[in-house]
Structure 1
Amino acid sequence: MEYALLQDVAFSSAPGYATITKLQHWPELPVSAEQSLVSQLQTTLDIQQQVNIVSMAVGKILPLSALQLNTAVGEFPARGSQVAAFEHRSMLVLNQQCLAELVYQSEYAFTPMLQRELLLLESEWLFSLRNALVVARLQQLALKDTLTGLGNRRFFDDAIAKAVLLAQRNDSSCALLLLDLDNFKQVNDIAGHAAGDEVLLTVAGCLRDTLRATDSLFRFGGDEFAVLLSGQDADSAQLVARRLLKVINQHHLCQQYKVSASAGLAQLKPDMDAGRLFKAADEALYDAKNAGKSTVRFA
């Protein structure tokens, strides 16, 4: 599904979902019941919170089993959503631009009269939703590398701090893998920056295709990449690192330009904070480059 406006608007992620309770009364709204839906929606630019507000408003029209907003920046379901017998889909369009798709599910049929009521409710959401999507785009631009779409250094600094705290709190595994491309400078010097960009996109694709969705990928800039491994992947981090290098080094485009990858790996230890974990991986990467490149070294 493509959403025209969202070519200029990107993702937002926010915790907090409205609970859908089938055939039960909705909880009191967090704002005054006398406020209109438009007024309530104008209190937040958070997409998920807007879904929460709309879900409670829809619950006053009919008992819902599920409500989900689908956008180019992600899917935002109401918590507790369950498949039901009847489904109704509606496109949210503003100024001939499709913002999103709204999916309702209920054990009751969506009669023409109910659909008209829902359409009126949706019309009150359009401007607030558009504004929330614009904010989400700005958030992505601040956290994403514009070429590869991977997280940037700012995003990485926040993510590694959270990953370390979470691992220590849950007594779980966490590992950091730093990758640097070998002989990359000669690609830009000889074949041009367009070829260099193609190599970087290829490496980013190799990372995405090889790792799980739960692993976090980043590009620092230049030809440096980072991977935060958690859970089972962190336990088998050495195998993951070798597999990544094999995929990158054997890719036909990397072979064409004689580009390979070196990597440094560090496993979180009880006495480490985020800074020490990064330093250990960085030192291991330095050792890998000095060892002849196209290899992995472990801290």
Structure 2
Amino acid sequence: MDFTTSVYDSTHNDNFYPAESAGKSLSISELSSFVKQLLSTLELQELGALYFQQLNMLLPVVGFSISDFDSRWVYGNAKISSTLIDLPLQGAASSSGEQAHAYYYISSPLSMSQRETLFQLHDLFGKQVKHALTLMRLEQMATKDGLTGLGNRAGFEQCINRQLSWAQRHGEKFALLIIDLDNFKHVNDSFGHSEGDKVLIHVASHLTNVLREEDEAFRFGGDEFCCILDCHTPQQLACAAQRIQLSINNSNYLAKLGVSCSLGGTIYREDDSATSIFDRADIALYSVKNSGKNNYRAA
């Protein structure tokens, strides 16, 4: 291989890679099956799971982890008594340019042929990770709002469908909050669209600062924002809406321009669709808009 291998042997076994140890290399059919599995997905987390599943059947690999370039995903069971093999993923790097790595936890000695098999499979995996990472970054570009840096409408639709699928499988509730800026048209008409853009960026920064790590914010379009929140009760949703409204209303910049916000929210209900949950929150929002603005209402 053309890369450095780091081996951390917590078993203190100096003969962990005995050249004479038994072991066979992969057959053509096994290798073909492995490649077919890897090529079946370009979703990074799923790719890691498929890779570990195949590794576990072919080699004494009991645990495996990779960086997703923000955090780490771990598969299997990495015991203290196992040996950690650290292999760099060629062509896969974080947004800061740092080299990504794969970590293999081995439960028993590898023969020379098994070592070569591991290197070969790792190389194949690394190539597919590079493709998956490229796709992931392209998808991120397609689902990000270029002005605010929040998710865009396409990103929102992906996220709400993912949340609905999870809620339906696990019975876990979540909340949708729609935010519409009050008097935003006046800003555009009186001060120009560049000032309107500054307002949108300013509001997005407030949302980012107020929301928790498990919450997500999107610019749905124009001056309308959506938040998918880890709230299970109307009380939790009302608290989240209040935090957002207070943050926006306490902005001196927005106050000088006369900008406030109206909010409408709802909690997931069994058998909700993306359309039904959005429509409920939207109806709540426009009941606020039609009754004085700058308030919150739930449906």
Q: TM-score range by the shorter chain?
A: 0.5 to 0.7
Separation in 2, partners of 1:164, 1:49: 19
Structure 1 window deviating more from structure 2 (169-178 vs 287-296): it is 169-178
Deviations 1:125-183 (Å, cap 9, x if unpaired)?
33322222222233334433333343332343454456456556666544322101123
Candidates 73, 91, 94, aligned match of 1:94:
91
**1:25 aligned residue:** none
**1:140 aligned residue:** 140
**2:251 aligned residue:** 251
Residues 277, 54 of structure 1: alpha-carbon distance in 2 compared, 3 angstrom cutoff: closer
Structure 2, unaligned stretches of length 5 or more? 1-25
Write the letter of the residue equivalent to 1:209: N
**1:84 aligned residue:** 80
Write the letter of the residue equivalent to 1:199: V
**1:33 aligned residue:** 30
Separation in 1, partners of 2:217, 2:35: 38
1:92 counterpart SS class: strand
**1:8 aligned residue:** none
1:96-135 matches, cutoff 5 A: 100-106=100-106, 121-135=121-135
Deviation at 1:222, TM superposition (A): 1.4
RMSD, aligned α-carbons: 4.2
Separation in 2, partners of 1:276, 1:107: 51
Deviation at 1:241, TM superposition (A): 1.0
Say if 1:183 and 1:260, in contact at 8 Å, map to a contact too: yes
Deviations 1:50-107 (Å, cap 9, x if unpaired)?
32454356558974453222133664332x3446365444432339976632233456
Structure 1 window deviating more from structure 2 (189-198 vs 245-254): it is 189-198
Bigger CA radius of gyration: 2
**1:13 aligned residue:** none
**1:45 aligned residue:** 42
1:277 counterpart SS class: helix
Residues 83, 191 of structure 1: alpha-carbon distance in 2 compared, 3 angstrom cutoff: farther
Structure 1 window deviating more from structure 2 (92-101 vs 181-190): it is 92-101
Separation in 2, partners of 1:211, 1:170: 24
Write the letter of the residue equivalent to 2:47: Q
Deviations 1:248-281 (Å, cap 9, x if unpaired)?
2223543454432211123455686543432232
**1:24 aligned residue:** none
Candidates 72, 75, 97, aligned match of 2:69:
72
Structure 1, unaligned stretches of length 5 or more? 1-28
1:257-296 matches, cutoff 5 A: 257-268=257-268, 273-296=273-296
Say if 2:92 and 2:133, in contact at 8 Å, map to a contact too: no
Write the letter of the residue equivalent to 1:67: F
Deviation at 1:214, TM superposition (A): 3.3
**1:232 aligned residue:** 232
1:124 counterpart SS class: helix
Deviation at 1:243, TM superposition (A): 1.5
1:294 counterpart SS class: coil
1:156 pairs with 2:156: yes
Deviations 1:226-252 (Å, cap 9, x if unpaired)?
123345355521122112111222235
**2:201 aligned residue:** 201
* Number of equivalences: 269
Deviations 1:187-245 (Å, cap 9, x if unpaired)?
44555555544433333333233333333432211111112334535552112211211
Separation in 1, partners of 2:256, 2:229: 30
Structure 1 window deviating more from structure 2 (39-48 vs 243-252): it is 39-48
Say if 1:245 and 1:261, in contact at 8 Å, map to a contact too: yes
1:176 counterpart SS class: strand
Deviation at 1:46, TM superposition (A): 3.1
Separation in 1, partners of 2:280, 2:157: 15
Calculate percent identity across the aligned residue pairs.
34
- TM-score (normalised: structure 1): 0.67
1:279 counterpart SS class: helix
2:80 counterpart SS class: coil
